Structure 1
């Protein structure tokens, strides 16, 4: 085992963290850019919006991911 790696049982949570960070960064950046433009306040407004959206998105993703897996299994052939 490579040092510093987590056990496989943690993979769903690690995936949720990575996915929520990337998605909230992109969505909040687009929304902030549209709302305030690319001015000098963009970075601070964006980081604030991103932090708040990540706090909401991460637990939501932990709940939604198993439901999405079940639904996709139901809708798709094996």
Structure 2
């Protein structure tokens, strides 16, 4: 593995999560280009732009979303 220190795990998570999410969304949006034979070109371009825009959003929103999630939920009582 890369050996990235655990204290940077939130950055690794943001990169992976935003990459996967934007890859799937841009793939779905590029489906109309399958018939033209330009699907890969459109998908890759759309994915790169959307990933560059979403990565900072995920990085900055994640701490707020974690706090909101903790505020909206309770511990399970077994």
Q: Which runs of 4+ in 1 moved over 6 A?
A: none
2:38 aligned to which of 41, 44, 50: 41
1:12 aligned to which of 2, 10, 13: 10
Aligned-residue Cα RMSD (Å) equals 1.2
Unaligned runs of 5+ in 2: none
Unaligned runs of 5+ in 1: none
TM-score, reference length from structure 1: 0.88
Question: For residues 13-50 of structure 1, what are the alpha-carbon distances to aligned partners after superposition, in whole Å with 9 as ceiling and x for unaligned?
Answer: 000000011000000100111xx341311110110000
| Matched positions, count | 74
Trace 1:1-78 onto structure 2 (pairs within 5 A).
Answer: 4-33=2-31, 36-39=32-35, 40-78=37-75
TM-score, reference length from structure 2: 0.88
**Distance in 2 separating the partners of 1:49 and 1:9:** 31
